[in-house]
Structure 1
Amino acid sequence: MPGCDLPPARLTVGVISAGRVGSALGAALERTGHVVFGVCAVSDASVRRAGTRLPDSKILPAEEVAAHSELLLLAVPDIELAGLVRGLACAGVVRPGTIVAHTSGANGIGVLAPLTEIGALPLAIHPAMTFTGHEEDLTRLGNACFGITAADEVGYAIAQSLVIEMGGEPVRVPEEHRQLYHAALVHGSGHLLTVVLDALDALRAALAGPGLLGQQTVDDQPGGLAERLLAPLASAALDNALRRGQAGLTGPVARGDADAVAAHLAALTPVDPRLAAGYRGLSLRTAERAGTAPAVIELLEGH
């Protein structure tokens, strides 16, 4: 009817491969009405994941998936992406006009050049989210930003539409800044995990021994006493950083308490010298940000 909004075009989607990211995005696209007709899945885990998340999709070789896709989603690890693109280009299976989107954070559209040269429309669509392979992945997509890079405004419009359909928020990332974008995300998420795991190791060492009557024995299994002790503090610290920025800095380093920092290093070193070294390095960066007392910086630099 005149004046009515037309629904967005539905696409025939192929996914290479059915890992945690590819299967989650494929399922999210299917929920919006796109049709994931085929998936390339090699490992037993990928085959099972495809069967669970995309039960109506056929398991097909990569070349066959590429040949019949209107939207081809390349969700392979970063290290495999360039080789996959070259292989598909040499095989000549990608039709001109095919939308080819990869999910790599570190890469923009340059890595897709072999397919762009034969008429594909290149997109980089990276969900800034960690994926576990479980049901929460799809829920988390609704709160995730996606770093998108395209060759022109038409490409950006397509990428933006796809991301919004999946429930995410599209964020433009210039081609030349993809590595910086990815480094920032790795530093703020992957390294955060390392810090938390180190802190839990130290807590387990601190809590070892007889506990309160009826209290759970301290062990190295997730969800124990150490995790329950750290969780509210770590959650509050992250919230402070995101909402208050530099003003959220606290603790002995920010306060310039060199004696406390020295005592911490002395306590951590017997547990694990590598853990103590990590504490020292991060404390020095905290001290630099906070502009703390020179005595703390001298201690941390080893002067």
Structure 2
Amino acid sequence: MGTPHGLRPARLKVGIISAGRVGTALGVALEDAEHVVVACSAISTASRQRAERRLPDTPVLPVDEVAGSAELLILAVPDAELATLVAGLAATSAVTPGAIVVHTSGANGIGVLAPLTEQGSVPLAIHPAMTFTGADEDIARLPGTCFGITAADEIGYAIAQSLVLEIGGEPFRVREDARTLYHAALAHASNHLVTVIADALEALRAAIAGQELLGQELVGDYPGGLAERVIAPLARAALENTLHRGQAALTGPVARGDAAAVAAHLAALTEVDPDLAEAYRAASLRTAQRAHAPKEVFEVLNR
């Protein structure tokens, strides 16, 4: 897919603060799009090793030198560190006026970049809606990933859109005042999915451990075992069905109105871990609301 109206940013000198999972993945993608990562910052040993592996021709420099060398400056730091970093860059006038400054925070719009905007920078919020583990798969997943973009004006949106399209992503606009809601939706979909699956695996291991068939591997708490192989196709099917069929994908005892089964689930889970049972209760209550379950189900869940 081409850039909007044929717009294609000039080849830019890119600086990255810092060489974390997101920053280095974007650095590789931008270099593949013929931009040049001229400098990056890396403090921890892990960051330095990641920079050396992913961006071997890029010098690791102090933050102010990275900022001063960049036409496109990417601030890929944790959300909690972003405002402090921006304040420090502004206080030292480290960023060249006219430079494009991009942060990758999902929770923030361009307001957090105001100190640099006042000094002549072009502020952009470009957030990849993807989880990053530091593995090479991060880079491979960027093409096709959706990116939430926020800018100050239509020129900024055109620049952000072009940059995302260049690396194979799909840009979409997020209003400044909707960034928190946007971030909450993504956290709910990704972070809480991990928790739900991890809880399900814990319960399943408790149900099947110690009764393995002859020659079967022992059920343990390590990843990739029998419990994961049982859950994986079920969880993948549920996710795909929801994405393609919406609410119609919902099945199970809550959706069927089987209050007795729900009560039995809660009792069994409580024996394994009361906290796990309470998590199941909370998720089941929300499921019951979505499914318009009969009052008997709500009575069980609200005991």
Common fold, TM-score beyond 0.5?
yes
Q: Deviations over 1:78-99 (max 9, x none)?
A: 0000000000000011111000
1:52 is aligned with what amino acid? R
Give runs of aligned pairs for residues 245-264 of structure 1, distance below 5 A.
Answer: 245-264=246-265
Alignment of 1:150-165 (within 5 A): 150-165=151-166
Q: Counterpart in 2 of 1:280? A: 281
Structure 1: which 4+ aligned runs deviate by more than 3 Å?
5-8
Is the partner of 2:14 in helix, strand or coil? Answer: strand
Aligned residue for 1:58, secondary structure, equals coil
SS at match of 2:19: coil
Aligned 8 A contact 2:127 2:149 in 1: yes
Q: In the alignment, which residue of structure 1 is the partner of 2:118?
A: 117
Instruction: Tell me how far 1:210 sits from its aligned partner.
Output: 2.8
Q: Structure 1 residue 7: deviation in Å?
A: 6.2
Aligned-partner Cα distance in 2 for 1:51–1:15:
13
Letter in 1 for 2:117: T
**Deviation readout 1:204-226 (Å, 9 max, x if unpaired):** 10111131111110001100000
Q: Which residue of 1 aligns with 2:48?
A: 47
| 2:219 is the alignment partner of 1:218 | yes
For 2:201, the aligned partner's letter is L
Deviations 1:152-204 (A, max 9, x none): 01000000011011111001000000000000000011000000000000011
- Matched residue SS, 1:269: helix
Cα pair distance change 1:225/1:6, threshold 3 Å: closer
Q: Is the 8 A contact 2:7 2:162 kept in 1?
A: no
Tell me the distance in 1 between the aligned counterparts of 2:109 and 2:275.
35
| Residue of structure 2 equivalent to 1:67 | 68
* Cα distance between partner residues in 2 of 1:141 and 1:217: 37
2:109 is aligned to 108
Please report how far the alpha carbon of residue 6 of structure 1 lies from its aligned counterpart in structure 2 after TM superposition: 8.9
Q: Deviations over 1:82-140 (max 9, x none)?
A: 00000000001111100000000000000000000000000000000001101100111
Deviation of 1:240 after TM superposition, in Å, equals 1.0
Which amino acid in structure 1 is aligned with residue 62 of structure 2?
Answer: P
Which string of whole-angstrom CA distances, capped at 9 and with x for unpartnered residues, describes residues 235-290 of structure 1? 00001111111111110000000000000000000111110000000000000000
Deviates more, 1:54-63 or 1:207-216: 207-216
Mapped partners of 1:36, 1:228: distance in 2: 41
Letter in 1 for 2:11: R
Code of the aligned partner of 1:247: A
Report how far residue 143 of structure 1 moved: 2.2
Residue of structure 1 in register with 2:234 after alignment = 233
Match for 2:244: what amino acid? Answer: R
- Report the identity percentage: 68
Greater relative contact order structure (CA < 8 Å, 6+ sep): 2
Aligned to 2:194: 193
Q: Aligned residue for 1:178?
A: 179
Q: How far apart are 1:301 and its partner, in Å?
A: 1.4
SS in 2 for 1:131: coil
Query: What is the letter of the counterpart of residue 259 of structure 2?
Result: A
Task: Identify the range of structure 1 (11-20 vs 206-215) with the bigger mean alpha-carbon deviation.
Answer: 206-215
Supply the distance in 2 between the matched residues of 1:136 and 1:83 (Cα, whole angstroms): 30
Tell me the CA shift for residue 63 of structure 1.
Answer: 0.4
Instruction: Give the corresponding residue for 1:135.
Output: 136
Normalised to the residue count of structure 1, the TM-score between the two structures is 0.97
- Residue in 1 aligned with 2:28? 27
Secondary structure of 1:64's partner? helix
The within-5 A match list for 1:9-24 is 9-24=10-25
Residues of 2 paired with 1:6 and 1:76: CA distance? 29
Output the amino acid matched with 1:266. A
State the alpha-carbon separation in 2 of the partners of residues 249 and 92 from structure 1. Answer: 54
Q: Secondary structure at the match of 1:59?
A: coil
TM-score (norm. length: structure 2): 0.97
- Unmatched runs of 5 consecutive residues or more in structure 1: none
**Aligned position for 2:3:** none
Q: Distance in 2 between matches of 1:171 and 1:6?
A: 17
Aligned-residue Cα RMSD (Å) equals 1.0
Contact 2:128–2:146 (CA under 8 A) maintained in structure 1: yes
Distance 1:6 1:187 in 2: 35
Relative to structure 1, is the Cα distance of residues 208 and 6 closer, same or farther in structure 2, using a 3 angstrom cutoff? closer
What is the total number of aligned residue pairs between the two structures?
A: 298
